[in-house]
Protein backbone atom coordinates (compact mmCIF):
# COMPACT_ATOMS: atom_id res chain seq x y z
CA UNK A 1 0.00 0.00 0.00
CA UNK A 2 2.79 2.38 0.91
CA UNK A 3 4.52 1.86 -2.47
CA UNK A 4 1.32 2.90 -4.36
CA UNK A 5 0.96 6.04 -2.26
CA UNK A 6 4.59 6.94 -2.93
CA UNK A 7 4.06 6.41 -6.68
CA UNK A 8 0.92 8.58 -6.75
CA UNK A 9 2.66 11.27 -4.72
CA UNK A 10 5.68 11.21 -7.06
CA UNK A 11 3.42 11.54 -10.16
CA UNK A 12 1.83 14.67 -8.66
CA UNK A 13 5.13 16.52 -8.22
CA UNK A 14 5.69 19.37 -10.69
CA UNK A 15 9.32 18.35 -11.26
CA UNK A 16 8.28 14.82 -12.26
CA UNK A 17 5.59 16.15 -14.66
CA UNK A 18 8.15 18.52 -16.19
CA UNK A 19 10.61 15.60 -16.52
CA UNK A 20 7.99 13.50 -18.34
CA UNK A 21 7.17 16.37 -20.70
CA UNK A 22 10.87 17.01 -21.42
CA UNK A 23 11.49 13.30 -22.00
CA UNK A 24 8.84 13.27 -24.73
CA UNK A 25 9.92 16.50 -26.44
CA UNK A 26 13.70 16.03 -26.12
CA UNK A 27 14.09 12.26 -26.60
CA UNK A 28 11.08 10.41 -27.97
CA UNK A 29 9.88 12.93 -30.56
CA UNK A 30 13.31 13.47 -32.21
CA UNK A 31 13.97 9.71 -32.36
CA UNK A 32 10.54 9.00 -33.90
CA UNK A 33 10.96 11.83 -36.42
CA UNK A 34 14.42 10.53 -37.38
CA UNK A 35 13.08 7.02 -37.94
CA UNK A 36 10.21 8.36 -40.06
CA UNK A 37 12.62 10.53 -42.06
CA UNK A 38 14.92 7.55 -42.75
CA UNK A 39 11.96 5.38 -43.79
CA UNK A 40 10.66 8.13 -46.08
CA UNK A 41 14.14 8.46 -47.62
CA UNK A 42 14.30 4.72 -48.25
CA UNK A 43 10.85 4.70 -49.88
CA UNK A 44 11.86 7.66 -52.05
CA UNK A 45 15.13 5.93 -53.00
CA UNK A 46 13.27 2.78 -54.01
CA UNK A 47 10.76 4.76 -56.06
CA UNK A 48 13.49 6.78 -57.81
CA UNK A 49 15.71 3.75 -58.41
CA UNK A 50 12.85 1.68 -59.71
CA UNK A 51 11.53 4.27 -62.16
CA UNK A 52 8.25 2.46 -62.71
CA UNK A 53 9.79 -0.86 -63.79
CA UNK A 54 8.99 -3.33 -60.99
CA UNK A 55 12.00 -5.61 -61.50
CA UNK A 56 14.38 -3.78 -63.83
CA UNK A 57 16.46 -1.03 -62.24
CA UNK A 58 15.87 -2.21 -58.69
CA UNK A 59 17.53 -5.50 -59.52
CA UNK A 60 20.59 -3.67 -60.83
CA UNK A 61 20.84 -1.65 -57.61
CA UNK A 62 20.45 -4.83 -55.54
CA UNK A 63 23.17 -6.58 -57.51
CA UNK A 64 25.52 -3.61 -57.17
CA UNK A 65 24.88 -3.43 -53.43
CA UNK A 66 25.51 -7.13 -53.08
CA UNK A 67 28.85 -6.80 -54.86
CA UNK A 68 29.93 -4.00 -52.51
CA UNK A 69 28.86 -6.01 -49.49
CA UNK A 70 30.71 -9.14 -50.64
CA UNK A 71 33.98 -7.48 -51.75
CA UNK A 72 35.45 -7.07 -48.24
CA UNK A 73 34.61 -10.68 -47.40
CA UNK A 74 36.28 -11.86 -50.60
CA UNK A 75 39.38 -9.82 -49.74
CA UNK A 76 39.53 -11.33 -46.26
CA UNK A 77 39.04 -14.81 -47.69
CA UNK A 78 41.88 -14.27 -50.16
CA UNK A 79 44.16 -13.10 -47.34
CA UNK A 80 43.31 -16.19 -45.28
CA UNK A 81 44.02 -18.48 -48.25
CA UNK A 82 47.38 -16.77 -48.89
CA UNK A 83 48.40 -17.02 -45.22
CA UNK A 84 47.33 -20.66 -45.05
CA UNK A 85 49.28 -21.46 -48.23
CA UNK A 86 52.39 -19.74 -46.83
CA UNK A 87 52.12 -21.69 -43.57
CA UNK A 88 51.74 -24.99 -45.44
CA UNK A 89 54.75 -24.21 -47.66
CA UNK A 90 56.94 -23.19 -44.71
CA UNK A 91 55.96 -26.28 -42.71
CA UNK A 92 56.79 -28.53 -45.66
CA UNK A 93 60.25 -26.94 -45.92
CA UNK A 94 60.71 -27.15 -42.16
CA UNK A 95 59.83 -30.86 -42.13
CA UNK A 96 62.59 -31.50 -44.68
CA UNK A 97 65.36 -29.97 -42.55
CA UNK A 98 63.98 -30.69 -39.09
CA UNK A 99 65.12 -34.35 -38.66
CA UNK A 100 68.79 -33.41 -38.95
CA UNK A 101 68.52 -30.75 -36.26
CA UNK A 102 66.32 -32.86 -33.98
CA UNK A 103 68.94 -35.63 -34.13
CA UNK A 104 71.61 -33.17 -32.98
CA UNK A 105 69.39 -31.90 -30.18
CA UNK A 106 68.56 -35.47 -29.15
CA UNK A 107 72.28 -36.30 -29.00
CA UNK A 108 73.01 -33.34 -26.71
CA UNK A 109 70.10 -34.24 -24.46
CA UNK A 110 71.45 -37.81 -24.19
CA UNK A 111 74.88 -36.39 -23.23
CA UNK A 112 73.22 -34.16 -20.64
CA UNK A 113 71.20 -37.12 -19.31
CA UNK A 114 74.36 -39.22 -18.85
CA UNK A 115 76.17 -36.32 -17.18
CA UNK A 116 73.28 -35.70 -14.74
CA UNK A 117 73.04 -39.42 -13.90
CA UNK A 118 76.79 -39.67 -13.24
CA UNK A 119 76.75 -36.54 -11.10
CA UNK A 120 73.71 -37.78 -9.14
CA UNK A 121 75.44 -41.13 -8.55
CA UNK A 122 78.58 -39.37 -7.28
CA UNK A 123 76.56 -37.19 -4.92
CA UNK A 124 74.36 -39.95 -3.53
CA UNK A 125 76.95 -42.76 -3.40
CA UNK A 126 78.39 -41.84 0.05
CA UNK A 127 74.95 -41.44 1.57
CA UNK A 128 73.74 -44.77 0.17
CA UNK A 129 76.92 -46.48 1.37
CA UNK A 130 76.58 -45.12 4.94
CA UNK A 131 72.89 -46.00 5.07
CA UNK A 132 73.71 -49.49 3.81
CA UNK A 133 76.29 -49.98 6.59
CA UNK A 134 73.77 -48.68 9.15
CA UNK A 135 71.10 -51.06 7.91
CA UNK A 136 73.51 -54.01 7.91
CA UNK A 137 74.72 -53.21 11.43
CA UNK A 138 71.16 -52.79 12.65
CA UNK A 139 70.14 -56.11 11.18
CA UNK A 140 73.21 -57.82 12.68
CA UNK A 141 72.46 -56.41 16.13
CA UNK A 142 68.80 -57.32 15.86
CA UNK A 143 69.59 -60.88 14.86
CA UNK A 144 72.22 -61.24 17.64
CA UNK A 145 70.00 -59.80 20.35
CA UNK A 146 67.02 -61.70 19.00
CA UNK A 147 69.02 -64.91 19.22
CA UNK A 148 70.13 -64.16 22.79
CA UNK A 149 66.64 -63.36 24.06
CA UNK A 150 65.22 -66.67 22.87
Computed on alpha carbons and rounded to an integer, the radius of gyration of the chain in Å comes to 44
- For 47-79, what is each residue's pLDDT tens digit? 777 665 655 666 777 788 888 899 999 999 999
Cβ pair 16, 10 in contact under 8 A: yes
Q: Any idea which of 10-14, 91-95, 115-119 has the lowest mean pLDDT?
A: 10-14
- For 14-31, what is each residue's pLDDT tens digit? 888 888 888 888 989 999
Please enumerate in sequence order all residues whose Cβ is within 8 A of that of 9, keeping only pairs 6 or more positions apart, or say none: none
Cβ pair 50, 57 in contact under 8 A: yes
d(CA 91, CA 76) in angstroms, rounded, equals 22
Looking at residue 116, its pLDDT comes to 96
d(CA 39, CA 62) in angstroms, rounded, equals 18
User: CA angle, corner 89, sides to 83 and 95, nearest 5?
Assistant: 130
Looking at residue 20, its pLDDT comes to 84
Amino acid sequence: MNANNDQIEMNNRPSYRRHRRQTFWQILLPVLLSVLLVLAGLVLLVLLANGGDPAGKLSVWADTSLIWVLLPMLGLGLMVILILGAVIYLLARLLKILPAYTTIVQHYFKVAENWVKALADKVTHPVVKVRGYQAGAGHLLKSLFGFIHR
